[in-house]
Amino acid sequence: MERVLKLLIGLCLVSLFCACDTMKSASYDAYAHKQTIAIKTSSEELIDKGVYSYESYETEVRALMNKIDSLMVYEQHKKHQKISLSMWKVLIDKDRNLLGGYLGRWKSKGKLPAVFVAEAKVQIMAAFDALIAYEAQKDARSKEGVLQLILN
């Protein structure tokens, strides 16, 4: 009986360890945090240009997307980065109402109305703020904020 009890306790501990390991977030990464802030700043500047011709800023759009792609590759090779990587995918998804959707609309329409630019900017910057908070804090509250954006 004692042997069975020890075996059950051992199995519970192994299960708990495995469950905790899959839910882990990576620790603070200064490089990822700094790059995310820089990309947010570049995105904000570019979003404001949406009232002008997309063709005039196509090079800047490509440069921004290259920065994002580079950071995503960096994130892919880090342990426990599923949440950050998923958030980046949401941010650049052309079918969502964040950066990717905004840039796609701008490209297809040529120019965007100032009211739309202002509305979109609020939403996109809020998404960046959630990601930056998560990158900086890696706590339950910031994790929940990012997960809500990913799942919506």
pLDDT of residue 137: 84
| pTM of the predicted model over 0.85 | no
Quote the mean pLDDT of the chain.
86
Q: Predicted confidence band at 21 (pLDDT cuts at 50, 70, 90)?
A: very low
pLDDT reading at 19 higher than 50? no
pLDDT reading at 29 higher than 90? no
Range with lowest mean pLDDT among 40-54, 81-95, 116-130, 136-150: 136-150
Tens digits of residue pLDDT in 118-134: 999 999 999 999 999 99
pLDDT of residue 126: 96
Cβ-defined contacts of 21-28 (< 8 Å, 24+): 24/80, 25/80, 25/83, 25/138, 25/143, 26/78, 26/79, 26/80, 26/81, 26/84, 26/138, 27/138, 28/135, 28/136, 28/138
Q: What is the mean pLDDT of residues 5-18?
A: 47
Q: What is the mean pLDDT of residues 40-51?
A: 98
Q: What is the mean pLDDT of residues 134-140?
A: 86
Which ranges in the chain belong to alpha helices (H)? 2-23, 30-48, 58-76, 82-92, 99-109, 114-137, 140-151
pLDDT of residue 1: 59
Tens digits of residue pLDDT in 78-93: 876 788 899 999 999 9
pLDDT of residue 12: 45
Percent of the chain with pLDDT over 90: 61
